[in-house]
């Protein structure tokens, strides 16, 4: 028999994810399942908003009276100037992945970095690292870097195809953690080999077009105890996964980060705490 679903009415609160593209997102299924399980009168949908309209996202939330949204590429940084307030995590990252509508006042939060670290903790991986190399310099990369710095990681290197964007990101991060060693560089095989030598954590936050470049990198330059995390959970075969495992390093996909940042987002949406580990188990069962 088909599963019965709550009746949608004029009182149903509307949440969603805003990005481009968003067809691959597992967030609608994840949040709608939680709403149904907990008997919450709400629905979560996807909004595909083109990059050139990032400055209209806040207007969308206000005009449609959405209760809250998640943000994904490419809107996490561009929306910041259009909000009414930011959480401490969003300020440190300079990026937002959650907007909460508080009676027309829009407050930006960032659960990406917290979710990333919670997923590592859940996997038994320590976040007590000496040197983390982050590939990419967008909103997710900034959030991960900011939370690792907040947890005391003393050295962060951001490598990005557009080096100027990485430099801008580290300048913002350094303003919150002036004692940390934060450097930027181009994302290339020579640069990675030099910058990542002996590093004990790599986080791939680049998007799909960077896959051919990522596949040229050599994981053997990393410390033997290093972990590699690819946050692109929708990729069935993340770049370098086999090579990293064969080298003896640990590889983690991005499903854990999705689950734990989603659990934190859900708490912001509903004020109900849920177990990110349970969310992750459900997501993995659906693969």
Q: Is the pLDDT of residue 4 over 80?
A: no
Give residue 6's pLDDT. 60
pLDDT for 67-114, tens place per residue? Answer: 999 999 999 999 999 999 999 999 999 999 999 999 999 999 999 999
Residue positions annotated with a catalytic role: 76
CATH of 113-253, one of 3.40.640.10, 3.40.50.720, 3.40.50.10490, 2.70.98.40: 3.40.50.720
pLDDT for 218-276, tens place per residue? Answer: 999 999 999 999 999 988 889 999 999 999 999 999 999 999 999 999 999 999 999 99
d(Cα 154, Cα 148) in Å, to the nearest integer? 9
Domain with CATH 3.40.50.10860 in the chain: 13-110+257-285
pTM of the model: 0.94
pLDDT for 176-214, tens place per residue? Answer: 888 889 999 999 999 999 999 999 999 999 988 899 999
Is residue 124 exposed (0-12), middle (13-18) or buried (19+ Cβ within 10 Å)?
exposed
Domain with CATH 3.40.50.720 in the chain: 113-253
d(Cα 165, Cα 148) in Å, to the nearest integer? 19
3-state secondary structure of 271: coil
List CB contacts of 211: < 8 A, sequence separation 6 or more.
Answer: 235, 239
CATH number for the domain running over 13-110+257-285: 3.40.50.10860
Q: Is the pLDDT of residue 169 over 60?
A: yes
């Amino acid at each position: 028999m088909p599963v019965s679903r709550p009746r949608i009415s004029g009182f149903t609160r509307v949440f969603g994810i805003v990005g481009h593209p968003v067809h691959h997102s597992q967030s609608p299924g994840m949040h709608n399942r939680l709403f149904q399980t907990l008997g919450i009168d709400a629905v979560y949908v996807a909004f595909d908003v083109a990059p050139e309209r990032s400055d209209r996202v806040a207007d969308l939330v206000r005009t449609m009276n959405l209760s809250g949204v998640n943000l994904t590429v490419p809107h996490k940084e561009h929306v910041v100037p259009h909000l009414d307030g930011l959480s401490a995590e969003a300020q440190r990252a300079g990026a937002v992945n959650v907007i909460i509508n508080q009676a027309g006042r829009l407050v930006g939060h960032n659960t990406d970095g917290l979710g990333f670290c919670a997923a590592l903790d859940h996997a038994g991986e320590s976040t007590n690292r000496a040197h983390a190399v982050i590939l990419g310099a967008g909103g997710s990369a900034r959030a991960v870097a900011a939370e690792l710095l907040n947890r005391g990681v003393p050295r962060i290197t951001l490598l990005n195809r557009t080096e100027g964007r990485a430099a801008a990101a580290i300048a913002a991060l350094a303003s919150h953690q002036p004692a940390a060693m934060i450097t930027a560089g181009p994302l290339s095989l020579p640069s990675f080999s030099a910058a990542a030598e002996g590093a004990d954590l790599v986080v791939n936050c680049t998007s799909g077009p960077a896959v051919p470049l990522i596949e040229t990198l050599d994981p053997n330059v990393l410390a033997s105890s290093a972990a590699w995390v690819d946050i692109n959970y929708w990729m069935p075969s993340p770049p370098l996964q086999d090579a990293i495992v064969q080298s003896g390093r640990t590889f983690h996909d991005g499903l854990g980060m999705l689950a734990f940042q989603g659990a934190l987002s859900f708490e912001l949406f509903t004020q109900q705490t849920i177990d990110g580990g349970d969310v992750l188990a459900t997501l993995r069962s659906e693969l």
